[in-house]
Amino acid sequence: MHEHHHDHDHAQAVSPEERLALLKYMIQHNAHHAEELHDLAHGCEGEAAALLHEAVHEIEDSNKKIEEALKLLEA
């Protein structure tokens, strides 16, 4: 099993403007990954394709939540 460590301390050091910009970037970044997964799913069959399509929907759902949070922060 591969362990991944990611330090989140930098998120506390950003300004409100930087935070908004980062969230906007993350939405676009996630959408790009969703498009790539969608394309990959079309090259697969069966349960693998279904799981990849499900992952696309989960990314899209996550982006909706990030967009809602962004609207609240911009208000």
DSSP assignments along 42-58, one per residue: TT--HHHHHHHHHHHHH
> What is the structure's pLDDT at 39?
96
2 within a domain of the structure (yes/no) = no
From the DSSP assignment, how many helices (H) and strands (E) are in the chain?
Answer: 2, 0
The answer to whether 52 touches 44, Cβ cutoff 8 Å, is yes
10 within a domain of the structure (yes/no) = no
9 within a domain of the structure (yes/no) = no
Residue 18 pLDDT grade (very low, low, confident, very high; cuts 50, 70, 90): very high
- Domain of residue 53: give its range: 15-74
Percent of the chain with pLDDT strictly greater than 90 = 80
The structure's pTM equals 0.77
